[in-house]
């Protein structure tokens, strides 16, 4: 049995600080959230490794560095409300909940959403709302959001999500083909929207009306 607190601290230093993550709020959130509780018991000892891990339904919990850089790019303030598409394990939602006012998170698989709800509640993260739906539609009843984070790979930036950004709001999303994407930040500004590109990455598919269509083969493979 490994020392999880020690492993988490090493993760922050060697995977995040060493690669240029600087936001103290992001470093402290990843230094606090017990990532090992968000993976299957059989994978706990690997929870702080430098890679994604399977979480069931053919989906993955993202690599710690990817969680950190996406969170840092959101540039969150305490008072911000954030929408996440792709709840998965609930880990990214827990990290966000440490550094903003409220997190709204959408997952298409009921099983994953239910499990994430249970774990975050056990860990006492109270400022998260869960929904099972196609997240490419956003969450219109709660819009606009100061930040939107899409944790699955998209063919293009969904217009529906852009429309749910507050003025000054940021949307972080991996955009590309099904095998590799580029992390993008869309910022809504009165004097003209901007799109910036960051690191290359590889995410599971964003499947939905404004994402990829469900392919029989990939769903069947899972």
> Residue numbers of the site for ligand SAH (CB under 6 A)?
59-62, 85-86, 88-89, 91-92, 106-109, 112, 134-136, 151-152, 204, 206-208, 211
Shortest distance, CB of residue 8 to ligand SAH, whole angstroms? Answer: 15
- Residues linked to residue 59 through DSSP beta bridges, in sequence order: 56
Q: Which of 42, 62, 97, 215 is catalytic?
A: 62
Beta carbon nearer to ligand SAH, 154 or 165? 154
Report the alpha-carbon distance of residue 131 to residue 139 in Å, rounded: 9
The answer to whether 62 is a known catalytic residue is: yes
Beta carbon nearer to ligand SAH, 37 or 106? 106
Shortest distance, CB of residue 39 to ligand SAH, whole angstroms? Answer: 9
Contact 16, 68 (CB under 8 A): yes
Structure tokens at 143: 């819009």
* DSSP H or E run through 35: none
Shortest distance, CB of residue 59 to ligand SAH, whole angstroms? Answer: 4
Contact 125, 60 (CB under 8 A): no
Shortest distance, CB of residue 3 to ligand SAH, whole angstroms? Answer: 23
Residue 19: closest CA among 55, 67, 59: 67
Beta carbon nearer to ligand SAH, 147 or 190? 147
Q: How far is CA 163 from CA 22, 77, 79, 106, in A?
A: 30, 21, 20, 17
Beta carbon nearer to ligand SAH, 168 or 182? 182
Report the alpha-carbon distance of residue 36 to residue 135 in Å, rounded: 26
Which residues are catalytic, by number? 62
């Amino acid at each position: 049995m490994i020392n999880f607190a020690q492993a988490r601290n090493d993760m922050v230093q060697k995977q995040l600080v060493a690669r240029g993550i600087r936001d103290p709020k992001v470093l402290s959130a990843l230094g606090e959230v017990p990532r090992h509780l968000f993976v299957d018991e059989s994978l706990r000892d690997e929870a702080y490794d430098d890679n994604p891990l399977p979480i069931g339904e053919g989906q993955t919990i993202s690599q710690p560095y990817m969680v950190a850089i996406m969170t840092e790019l959101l540039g969150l303030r305490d008072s911000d409300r954030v929408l996440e598409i792709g709840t998965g394990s609930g880990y990214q939602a827990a990290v966000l909940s440490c550094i903003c006012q409220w997190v709204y998170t959408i997952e298409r698989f009921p099983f994953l959403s239910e499990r994430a709800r249970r774990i975050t509640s056990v860990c006492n993260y109270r400022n998260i709302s869960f929904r099972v739906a196609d997240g490419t539609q956003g969450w219109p009843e709660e819009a606009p959001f100061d930040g939107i984070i899409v944790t699955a790979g998209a063919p293009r930036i969904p217009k529906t999500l852009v429309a749910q950004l507050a003025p000054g709001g940021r949307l972080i999303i991996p955009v590309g083909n099904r095998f590799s994407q580029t992390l993008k930040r869309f910022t809504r500004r009165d004097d003209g929207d901007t799109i910036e590109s960051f690191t290359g990455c590889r995410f599971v598919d964003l499947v939905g009306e404004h994402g990829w269509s469900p392919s029989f083969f990939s769903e069947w493979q899972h």
